[in-house]
Structure 1
Amino acid sequence: MTFAPARRDYVGFTVTESADVVFDNITLHHSGGMGILGENCHNVTVKNSAVTPSGTRYISTTADATHFVNCTGEINLINNLFENQKDDATNIHGIYAMVDSIIDDKTIEVRVQHPHQFGFRFIDQGDTLELVQGPSMITYGTNQVAQVDRISKEITRVVFEDTLDKRFAVGDSVAEVRDYPTVLIKGNTIRRNRARGMLLNCRGKTVVEDNYFHSPGAAILFEGDAEFWFEQGGVSDVVIRNNTFDNSVFGVWGMLF
Structure 2
Amino acid sequence: MTCLSIQGEKFFVSEFGAYSNDNIDDTQSIQSAIDKGINYGSGSIIIFGHGTYNLSSTISITNASNLTIIGQGISETLLVGTTRMFIFFAQYCDGLKIASLSIDFDPYPFTAGYVVNATNTYLDIRVQPPHRADIDQRVLGLIRYDPIEMRPAFGPNTYNFYQVPPNYADTSLIRTNILRIPLASLTGLNIGDAVVAVYDIAVHAIYIHDSIDVTIQTINVHSSWGMVLIANRVRRLTVSDYHVTPMNGRWLSANSDCMHFMDTREYISLSDSKCQMQGDDGLNVLTPYVIVTDIINSSTIIIQAFNWTDPLNIEDGTQLEFASSKQPFTAYTRGKIASSTVYTSTSRLFMFTTSINVSIGDLAYVGDTPSLTIRNFTVERNRARGVLLETRNVTISQSIFNKTSGPAILFQPSLYWHEGPPGRNITLTENLYINCNEGIGQQEGFITILPDPTQLIPVITDIRIESSTFYFGNFSRGLIQATNANNIYITGNYIATNTSTPLITICNSRNITANNNTVIDLKAKIDQYYTFDTTDPCHVNLSSLIDLPPSAFNSSFPPPVILT
- After superposition, give the CA deviation of every residue in 1:194-229 in whole Å (9 maximum; x if it has no partner): 11000122223x21111111201110111213x221
Aligned to 2:273: 80
Instruction: State the alpha-carbon separation in 2 of the partners of residues 125 and 76 from structure 1.
Output: 25
Deviations 1:37-56 (A, max 9, x none): 11111222222221012224
Aligned residue in 1 for 2:363: 173
2:310 pairs with 1:119: yes
Structure 2 CA distance, aligned partners of 1:193 and 1:25? 21
Q: Structure 1's 235 and 29: CA in aligned 2 closer, same or farther, altered over 3 A?
A: same
* CA contact 1:12–1:35 (8 Å) conserved in 2: yes
* Structure with max Cα Rg: 2
Partner residue in 2 for 1:128: 319
Distance 1:30 1:252 in 2: 21
CA-to-aligned-CA distance 1:169-188 (integer Å, 9 cap, x gap): 3332111222x322221112
- 1:147 is matched with which residue? 339
Partner of 1:51: 244
Asked if the contact 2:406/2:438 (under 8 Å) is kept, the reply is yes
For the pair 1:183 / 2:375, whether they are aligned, the reply is no
Superposed displacement of residue 35, structure 1: 0.8
Corresponding residue of 1:244: 432
Q: Which has the higher helix share?
A: 2
Q: Report the CA distance shift for 1:161/1:47 in structure 2 as closer, same or farther (over 3 A).
A: closer
Partner of 1:107: 300
**TM norm structure 1:** 0.87
Partner of 2:387: 198
Contact 2:244 2:275 survives alignment (8 Å): yes
1:15 lines up with 2:220 in the alignment: no
Q: Which runs of 5+ in 2 are unaligned?
A: 1-194, 444-449, 453-564
Whether the 8 Å CA contact 1:101–1:108 is kept in 2: the answer is yes
Which region of structure 1 is more displaced relative to structure 2, 228-237 or 121-130? 121-130
The 3-state SS of whatever aligns with 1:183 is strand
Q: What is the alpha-carbon distance in structure 2 between the residues aligned to residue 243 and residue 153 of structure 1? A: 46
Asked whether the equivalents of residues 281 and 386 of structure 2 are also in contact (C-alpha less than 8 Å), the reply is yes
Superposition deviation, residue 20 in structure 1: 2.5
Give, in whole Å, the separation in 2 of the partners of 1:188 and 1:16: 24
SS at match of 1:74: strand
C-alpha spacing 1:135/1:212, structure 2 compared with 1 (3 Å): farther
Structure 1 residues 106, 22: CA separation in 2 closer, same or farther (over 3 Å shift)?
closer
- d(CA) in 1 for partners of 2:291 and 2:442? 24
- Quote the offset at 1:135 in angstroms: 4.8
For 2:404, the equivalent position in structure 1 comes to 215
**Could you say what the CA RMSD is over the residues aligned between the two structures, in angstroms?**
2.2
Identity of aligned residues (%): 25
User: Quick check: 1:66 aligned with 2:255?
Assistant: no
Correspondence for 2:219 among 23, 26, 33: 26
Q: Distance in 2 between matches of 1:83 and 1:114?
A: 29
Q: Which secondary structure state, in structure 2, belongs to the residue aligned with residue 195 of structure 1?
A: coil
The correspondence of residues 223-234 of structure 1 with structure 2, limited to 5 A, is: 223-225=412-414, 227-234=415-422
Asked whether the equivalents of residues 304 and 312 of structure 2 are also in contact (C-alpha less than 8 Å), the reply is: no
Q: Distance in 1 between matches of 2:251 and 2:261?
A: 25
User: Which secondary structure does the structure 2 equivalent of 1:49 belong to?
Assistant: strand
* CA contact 1:93–1:200 (8 Å) conserved in 2: yes
Q: Structure 1 pair 174/46, CA: closer, same or farther in 2 (3 Å)?
A: same
Letter in 1 for 2:421: G
Secondary structure of the residue that 1:150 maps to in structure 2? Answer: strand
| TM-score scaled by length of structure 2 | 0.42
Q: Classify the secondary structure of the residue corresponding to 2:198.
A: coil
* Match for residue 90 of structure 1 among 265, 283, 308: 283
Flag the 1:148–1:9 CA change in 2: closer, same or farther, 3 A.
same
Please, which runs of 5 or more residues in structure 1 have no aligned partner? none
Q: Give the SS at the match of 1:159.
A: strand
Q: 1:35 to 1:152 in 2, by over 3 A?
A: farther
Q: Note the C-alpha offset of 1:247.
A: 1.6
Structure 1: which amino acid aligns with 2:262? V
Amino acid at match of 1:50: H
- Give, in angstroms, the shift of residue 146 of structure 1: 3.4
Quick one: distance in 1 between partners of 2:439 and 2:325?
29
Higher mean C-alpha deviation, range 24-33 or range 106-115? 106-115
CA–CA distance in structure 2, aligned partners of residues 3 and 161 of structure 1: 51
Quote how far apart the aligned CAs of 1:65 are: 0.3
CA distance in 2 between counterparts of 1:46 and 1:150 reads 34
C-alpha contact 1:119 1:153 (8 A) present in aligned 2: no
Distance of 2:211 and 2:399 partners within structure 1: 28
Contact 1:222 1:233 in 2 (8 A): no
Aligned CA distance change for structure 1 residues 51 and 78 (closer, same or farther; 3 Å): same
For residue 107 of structure 1, what is the amino acid of its counterpart?
Answer: T
Match of 1:2 among 180, 186, 196: 196
Q: Which amino acid aligns with 2:400?
A: Y
Aligned pairs, how many? 249
AA at the equivalent of 1:13: I
Residue pair 1:29, 1:54 contacting (<8 A) in 2 also = yes
